[in-house]
Amino acid sequence: NAGVTQTPKFRILKIGQSMTLQCTQDMNHNYMYWYRQDPGMGLKLIYYSVGAGITDKGEVPNGYNVSRSTTEDFPLRLELAAPSQTSVYFCASSYPGGAYGYTFGSGTRLTVV
């Protein structure tokens, strides 16, 4: 059982470039999330999805876009990368309610130069 798979694990982007962070889960979880982790700041919610075709903004959505065409996949798109988007990105998933915890991917370390 793979859980939540994120690709790539590392990436360096130049300012103004675009990229998509991939996230796939094989647990049939309805709920999926994207977080970013900055040093000393904990994890902040970027976007979330409660099912295929349904997405909504979290606390820090500016500069990002998401889509959810299937239950399994929840890609995060960065348009016009900026140095402020240098961070570690985590994808997570849960059953509705998430009371029993969330499954996290292993993260993507992104550097924008």
Binding site for other proteins (CB under 8 A): 31, 33, 35, 40-45, 48-50, 56, 58-59, 88, 90, 92, 94, 96-102, 104, 106-107, 109
d(CA 102, CA 113): 32
Nearest distance in Å: CB 23, other proteins: 14
Two tokens at 81? 């990368």
Q: Which is nearer to other proteins, 27 or 43 (CB)?
A: 43
Q: Which is nearer to other proteins, 14 or 99 (CB)?
A: 99
What is the identity of the amino acid at 18? S
Work out the burial of residue 101: count CB atoms within 10 Å of its CB; fewer than 13 is exposed, 13-18 middle, 19 or more buried.
exposed
